[in-house]
Chain A
Amino acid sequence: MEYAVEMCHITKRFQSVLANDDISLRVKPGTVHAIIGENGAGKTTLMNVLYGLYKPDAGQIFTFGQERNLKSATDAIACGIGMVHQHFTLLPRLSVADNVVLGCEPKRGLRYDRSAAIERVGQVCSKYGMQVEPERMISEISLGMQQRVEIVKTLYRGANIIILDEPTAVLTPQEIDELGKTLEQLKNKGKTILIITHKLEEVMAFSDDITVLRNGRHVVTVSKDETDIPSLTGYMVGREVHLGGTKQEHPFTEELLELQDVSCSRDGRPVLSHISLKVNRGEILGIAGIDGSGQTELTELIAGILPCDSGTVTYQGNDITRRSIAERKKDGIGFVPQDRHRHGLILDFSVEENLLLGLQREPRYIQHGFLQNRKEIHAVAKERIEAYDVRPADSGAKASQLSGGNQQKIIIAREMGNKPQIMVADQPTRGLDIGAIEAIHHTLVQHRNSGGAVVLASLELDEVMILSDRIAVMYAGRLMGILPAAQATREKIGLMMAGVGDAPEVKP
């Protein structure tokens, strides 16, 4: 049969990293084909090669039987390949129609024909049964609609093969269902769809065929009916995986942290409204929500980075609302920020200096009042590197040279080394391989078991559900509700993530 897409022996290397190692892929036309693998397996690279963004070092690409030499995205678009990237490539200050037609704008001479653009977008939408509002600004519409705009973009250019890169990362469970329906419709119109994802539930729900990649190599291609989630996990990782740590019983119960009616704003826009919650010792409070729901802001509030406009923050019985970041660190609030490169580490500093970041004013690191105690700093660094198995085990190496997992280990080693009472972690396992994820889960659960508290914000609902003792759900800066883990189901949480579920398109 003629395959919609055939990639033969694709190899792509980046300096010392072999991202794709002799991968061969065949996609049947009119199907939804999922490409799965853990972070770093090479899925995005492979699809970027298909979309012409990267030139493969070796291998060939065929669409519908014809060989293609793709030198840029333009070539790919000309062959009928469209891609919706993980981070949307939309212009917030332009309208939906402008965004869709960008690159193939309707014009009258030199003049840009805006009304023709709006008309044409309407035509594409009705042809494929999609719904967008052509005249609105991107900055005003929801993420779900933004994703639809991205898909309309590809359809406008006549794509027959549509690649979706991690499409569900920013969607509520309801919006994910909507996406599933959209994909069905597109399939019925004869489109071939490739999805890159690491979320196995969605894979089983949407796809017809599944290809698994691991460490840059092709492992297996199966049809959905022939497999199940445990097998897929096995293919993805190659060994038994134990996420979620081992929770143990413990006697700790007292309240550690309380937020009372806290509201914050950033750059004039409100980001948190009237949040009230409590965190006790010996528990993991998970914060679930979609991107932009206020999870990050909540963690930054606790850590002292985001000042609050009103309300109080009480910690160990004291009002710490006005306390600075440095003071809170001293009090025992540890923080693992979301962006490890921009906020968590200084890439040009050595591992040793990074382990010191935020703790440099502790008495044991200071001599004579203003000099640094090099010996002590070095000794402590060595200890931590060993305890957390940071590789390479060289405290003098620059942080930029370590892998993402090891960089995250440094941050966690540093924060945990400060013996915090409460660990606040924002997306601590994002972008990491399974091994690192296991280690971090283990660390957090250990902390909980020994009486510490953990506030864990994560976009991965699975992670939140497997780790938390209680789950708080954020939506548009509001706290929608807190459920004990035993009572939490995907459906309930999903509704809250979408703002109580009746209007799935409300702006995040």
Chain B
Amino acid sequence: MDEILSLLLSVIRLCTPIFIAGLGNMFCERVGVLNLGAEGMMISGAFMAVLGSFLTGSAWCGVLFGLAGGMIAGAIHALICVEFGGLHAISGLGLTIFCRGVAKFMCVAVFGSTYSPNVQAIQTTELFAGVPVVGQWLKQLSPLVYLAIILGFLAHYVIFHTTFGLRVRALGDNPRAVETAGIDVWKMRFIGVFICGLLCGLAGAYMGLGQLDRYFDGMISGKGMIAVIAVKMGNWTPIGIAGTALLLGIFDAIQLKLQISNTLNLSPEMLAMVPYLAGIAVLCMKKKQDGRPMALDTIYLRNRYKF
């Protein structure tokens, strides 16, 4: 029983960054901007979070730094895709390579090597320690996990029950219709991408301060792309994204457990491949994707930039 519960906790821990980044990507894609740079935003978030914790000695300050890091990366993507009319896929790809390079560069400059020292982290929630029966389990999760769950519900409410959400859904299908209704398409797209940057930054901060307590080059290793898959396979809804993230988290947890316990005597590198193979398998599944924003990955230039 204990085994199962600890495995469950492991699953939740591992699926949280995918879920948070997936929520962010959902907002971004629902306003029509494709984001392959989620990985880059997460890297920025993770590095800035660890840096922040290192500089201030407080993990929560680190989280704020992480949010800022994600926002800056998001701002770059927003500028290129929304204002400059650039191709979303190329911008996203460039962003990931750029952020990874800058993070490694700054890591070496600040910490002297490609990994940081251990810093103040928030890997447990002492708040729940006092709760009877489940408290000992609940406290083993970082408070950021609980934040993620709250964000999930919040995201669902915003998208489906607010006027902002209505406009976002409209924008994702037909930007022209929204523009002629007198709504500022570009402001909304900017907001969508910024939210994405914030959430991906949070996801990265969670990985740096909630899962581990340091930063090293290659720590995100593909979680950003998995988040993109989670959005697609989750049919662009928070519930679907949660489901896909959990599924992928299960594979990740199993792989980790096998590595640690070494039961099947498999090489660690082969095991490390499992989450990606799982991601590819999920991607190749035939699932309904009718929630796809019809205007996803379309360039919508301001009239004055047309020449």
Interface residues of A (CB under 8 A from B): 14-15, 53-55, 72-74, 77, 83, 85, 89-94, 98-99, 102-103, 105, 107, 110-112, 153, 157
Contact = CB atoms under 8 A, between A and B. Distances in A.
A85 B180 contact: yes
Given A89-B181, A90-B177, A102-B170, A15 B165 contact: no
A92 B173 contact: yes
18 contacts: A53-B180, A54-B303, A73-B180, A89-B174, A89-B177, A89-B180, A90-B177, A91-B169, A91-B170, A91-B173, A102-B177, A102-B183, A103-B178, A103-B183, A110-B163, A112-B165, A153-B181, A157-B182
A220 B180 CA distance: 30
Given A93-B173, A94-B169, A110 B164 contact: yes
Interface string B136-172: 0000000000000000000000000111111101100
Contacts of A112: 161-163, 165-166
Contacts of B182: 72-74, 77, 103, 157
Contacts of B307: 15
A53 B303 contact: yes
A85 B163 CA distance: 24
B176 interface: yes
Given A55-B304, A85-B180, A92-B173, 15 more contacts: A15-B307, A53-B303, A73-B179, A83-B180, A89-B181, A90-B174, A91-B170, A91-B177, A93-B294, A94-B173, A98-B170, A102-B166, A103-B181, A153-B181, A157-B182
Contacts of A103: 167, 178, 181-183
A164 to B, nearest CB: 14
Chain A residues touching B, majority SS:
loop
Nearest to A157: B182
B303 to A, nearest CB: 7
Given A54-B303, A72-B182, A102-B170, A111 B162 contact: yes
Contacts of B180: 53, 73, 83, 85, 89
Ranked 4 nearest A-B pairs via Cβ: A103-B181, A89-B177, A74-B182, A105-B163
Given A74-B182, A89-B180, A107 B303 contact: no
Interface in B70-129: none
The winner among B164, B170, B173 for most chain A CB atoms within 10 A is B170
Nearest to A90: B177
Contacts of A77: 182
A110 B162 CA distance: 6
Contacts of B167: 102-103
A388 B206 CA distance: 67
A105 B181 CA distance: 11
A102 B167 CA distance: 7
Name, among B173, B306, B307, the residue most crowded by chain A CB atoms within 10 Å (CB to CB). B173
A107 B163 contact: yes
A3 B231 CA distance: 54
Q: Is the interface of B mostly helix, strand, loop or mixed?
A: helix
Nearest to A52: B182
Contacts of B181: 73, 89, 102-103, 153
A201 B182 CA distance: 33
Nearest to B306: A14
Contacts of B163: 105, 107, 110, 112
Interface string B271-307: 0000000000000000000000010000000011011
A455 to B, nearest CB: 32
B195 to A, nearest CB: 15
Q: Which of A93, A94, A102, A105 has the most CB of B within 10 A?
A: A102
Contacts of A102: 166-167, 170, 177-178, 181, 183
B189 to A, nearest CB: 16
Nearest to B290: A93
Contact of A111 (B161, B176, B294): B161
A53 B185 CA distance: 13
A53 B304 CA distance: 10
Contacts of A111: 161-162
A94 B161 CA distance: 13
A83 B180 CA distance: 8
B167 to A, nearest CB: 7
Contacts of B183: 102-103
Contact of A94 (B164, B170, B303): B170
A503 to B, nearest CB: 28
A77 B182 CA distance: 8
Contacts of B165: 112
A463 to B, nearest CB: 28
Contacts of B170: 91, 94, 98, 102
A30 B6 CA distance: 75
Contacts of B306: 14
A107 B306 CA distance: 36
Contacts of A89: 174, 176-177, 180-181
B153 to A, nearest CB: 14
Nearest to A113: B163
A74 B167 CA distance: 15
A245 B188 CA distance: 52
A153 B183 CA distance: 14
Contacts of A98: 166, 170
B121 to A, nearest CB: 34
Interface string B58-73: 0000000000000000
Contacts of B173: 91-94
Nearest to B182: A74
Contacts of A14: 306
Interface string B223-250: 0000000000000000000000000000
Contacts of B304: 55
Contacts of A74: 182
Contacts of A53: 180, 303
Interface in B176-203: 176-183
B78 to A, nearest CB: 20
A476 B182 CA distance: 34
Nearest to B173: A91
Nearest to A84: B180
A105 to B, nearest CB: 4
B295 to A, nearest CB: 10
Nearest to B304: A55
Contacts of A99: 177
Interface centre among A83, A99, A110 (most CB of B within 10 A): A110
Contacts of B178: 102-103
B95 to A, nearest CB: 27
Nearest to B183: A103
Contacts of A85: 180
Nearest to B162: A110
Counting chain B CB atoms within 10 Å of each CB, which of A14, A91, A98, A107 scores highest?
A: A91
